[in-house]
Amino acid sequence: MTITDFNMFNETQDAVNKFVFKEEKKDFIYKRAELKLIFLELPKFQKKLEE
């Protein structure tokens, strides 16, 4: 998990974005769940401490 204090992805307003690996030429996804990239963009995180 990577936590950033800046916006990385302007395409979405979601605070948490998850990515998986995909083969470039044949376009198939690597299905092993343990290999994921997860980004938390703090400027987009709007929940309060109580939540």
Query: Which tokens sit at 39?
Result: 């980004």
So what's the pLDDT on residue 45? 86
Q: Are the CB atoms for 9 and 48 separated by under 8 Å?
A: no
* Count of CB atoms situated within 10 Å of the CB of 4: 13
So what's the pLDDT on residue 5? 95
So what's the pLDDT on residue 29? 87
Task: Please report, in tens digits, the pLDDT of each residue of the chain (51 residues total).
Answer: 999 999 999 999 999 999 988 899 999 988 876 788 999 999 998 877 787
Q: How far apart are CA 18 and CA 4, in angstroms?
A: 14
pTM for this model (two decimals): 0.70
So what's the pLDDT on residue 25? 95
The residues, any chain, with a CB within 8 Å of residue 47's CB and separated by 6 or more, are none
